[in-house]
Amino acid sequence: MFRSMLVLAASLAMLVTGPVSAQRYSQSVMEVDEKPGYEPSADEERLPAALQRQSVFFRTNEQPGTIVVHTSERFLYIVQGNGRAIRYGIGVGRDGFQWSGLNKITRKQEWPDWTPPPEMIERQPYLPRFMAGGPGNPMGARALYIGSTVYRIHGTNMPQTIGKAVSSGCFRLANGEIVDLYERVPVGTKIVVRHAPEL
């Protein structure tokens, strides 16, 4: 009888703690994708063909020059007009950190410094409080700042995370791709963030 009660209690404990443990585990696995100081090799910088920058057919009512992000597809588009856009593979926010809306690019920075926000430090206390810009910086080679938010479109020192949902809400590109995007996008550019493509 006592043994049966112990088994029942253990089973109930697993039911209660199982999802929480799984959630903590999944977050910790995703968060190790932030590796300050890591410098990727040339092979790591080469993206799979589907995630590489390319001109594609793109139906939209947005004006040429507009940035359109489809988080569910893991792609960022710059509208070119005539039904075309330049498409970039991106990394997006993980579950609970994705967002949508309209904004604009308010600032641009080459080799930006990185100051993790307090919320990120709380989740990942091992992170540095400040890191100067450079090849090992998680912000990568360039950054485009979105409105007055904490979100950015930026490079990364972990190109293997492109095409995945791993960030805290920012959109990351491989360094070669963000350098190309940076040259095409002036301050004031409209950005539209959607979870699904237009119908």
Please give the pLDDT value at position 190. Answer: 98
Catalytic residue among 47, 79, 141, 170: 170
Please give the pLDDT value at position 25. Answer: 26
3 state SS of 91:
strand
CB 62 within 8 A of CB 192: yes
Mean pLDDT (whole number) for 155-174? 93
* Structure tokens belonging to residue 33: 């994708």
Is 195 a known active-site residue? no
Per-residue b or e along 84-116, where b marks 16 or more CB atoms closer than 10 Å to that residue's CB: bbbbbbbbbbbeebeeeeebebeebeeebebeb
- Give the chain's mean pLDDT: 82
* Residue 156: band (very low, low, confident or very high) from pLDDT cuts 50, 70, 90: very high
Lowest mean pLDDT among 47-51, 59-63, 123-127, 186-190: 123-127
Is 91 a known active-site residue? no
Please give the pLDDT value at position 35. Answer: 76
* Residue 5: band (very low, low, confident or very high) from pLDDT cuts 50, 70, 90: very low
Rounded Cα distance between 66 and 109, Å, is: 19
Lowest mean pLDDT among 26-40, 74-88, 183-197: 26-40
Domains of the chain by residue range? 32-194
Catalytic residue among 91, 154, 156, 158: 154
Please give the pLDDT value at position 197. Answer: 58
Indicate the CATH number of 32-194 among 3.90.550.10, 2.40.440.10, 1.10.10.10, 3.40.50.300.
2.40.440.10
Mean pLDDT (whole number) for 116-123? 82
